[in-house]
């Protein structure tokens, strides 16, 4: 039995992965951004161990989530599933003065990776839109560019793959991978989405716990349990270091080994 923590597991892909892992006999720690959603998550995933609470748009609350998780003891895997979408029509700043989509999709997984005691496996949720992310890694906080919601989202999904591959390089004792679920009918994807929601969360769970040789790899990018070619920038060590350094500046949190 594995012990798995899943961010953003009160609905959508995260809840689907949690339900599947519980059904398979694993211990699952849920996450929600507030107490009400945490109660709803626990009700929706009977058998889950517990739920931790914190809004990942806040650096302070993200640090609190890591502290709550560490108090629970060691983990076998962390699925960085939480994310916000590309329909933000204007720049929405967080309490830390950062774009909301960057804070949740990029900075939060970085902070949690750095602060949660190192598990055996890390899984990062990306998107096919990462292929059109800005590989220059300039102006991450959108201080100079005119706001474009879909571009901002695409950038953060590229960041997630870069982060996964950076961890795979720096922490060779950890399986660290990224995946895209496809265009799936979640609140983010919308009812008209055409890809298979189940295969999206099954791939998350598979990478987190499976003993299949295909899942016990590191530094790979997946779609429906099969490897897929990522944006080449994600494998650029210089880009990886640039992103880690920027995230450290924004958060004040240093990643071990960086």
For the chain, what is the radius of gyration of the CA atoms?
Answer: 16
Q: Which of 86, 124, 143, 157 is catalytic?
A: 157
Q: Of these residues, 153, 201, 221, 239, which one is catalytic? A: 153
Distance (Å, whole) CA 129 – CA 126: 8
Q: Residue 80 burial by CB count (10 A; 0-12/13-18/19+): exposed, middle or buried?
A: buried
In 3-state terms the chain splits into helix, strand, coil percentages (rounded to 5) of: 45, 15, 45
118 is catalytic: no
86 is catalytic: no
How far, in Å, CA of 22 to CA of 1, rounded?
A: 10
CA–CA dist 135, 131 (Å, integer): 9
Residues in the chain: 258
CA distance 51 to 119: 18
Best CA proximity match to 86, nearest among 37, 54, 52, 132: 132
- State phi, psi for 125 to the nearest 5 degrees: -85, 120
The residues assigned a catalytic role are 153, 157
């Amino acid at each position: 039995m594995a012990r798995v923590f899943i961010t953003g597991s009160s609905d959508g892909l995260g809840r689907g992965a949690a339900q599947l892992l519980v059904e398979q006999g694993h211990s699952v720690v849920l996450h929600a951004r507030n107490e009400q959603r945490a109660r709803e998550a626990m009700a929706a995933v009977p058998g889950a161990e517990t739920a931790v609470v914190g809004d990942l748009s806040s650096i302070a609350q993200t640090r609190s989530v890591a502290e709550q998780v560490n108090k629970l003891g060691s983990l076998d895997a962390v699925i960085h599933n939480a994310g916000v979408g590309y329909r933000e029509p204007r720049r929405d700043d967080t309490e830390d003065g950062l774009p909301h989509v960057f804070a949740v999709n990029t900075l939060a997984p970085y902070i949690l990776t750095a602060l949660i005691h190192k598990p055996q496996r890390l899984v990062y949720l990306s998107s096919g839109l990462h292929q059109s992310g800005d590989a220059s890694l300039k102006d991450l906080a959108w201080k100079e560019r005119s706001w474009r919601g879909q571009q901002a989202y695409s950038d953060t999904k590229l960041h997630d793959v870069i982060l996964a591959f950076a961890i795979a390089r720096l922490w060779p004792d950890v399986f660290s991978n990224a995946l895209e679920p496809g265009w799936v009918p979640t609140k983010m994807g919308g009812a008209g989405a055409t890809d298979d929601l189940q295969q999206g969360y099954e791939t998350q769970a598979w990478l987190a716990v499976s003993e299949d040789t295909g899942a016990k790899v590191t530094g790979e990018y997946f779609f429906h349990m099969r490897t897929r070619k990522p944006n080449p920038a994600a494998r650029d060590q210089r880009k990886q270091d640039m992103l880690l350094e920027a995230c450290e500046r924004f958060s004040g949190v240093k990643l071990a080994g960086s």
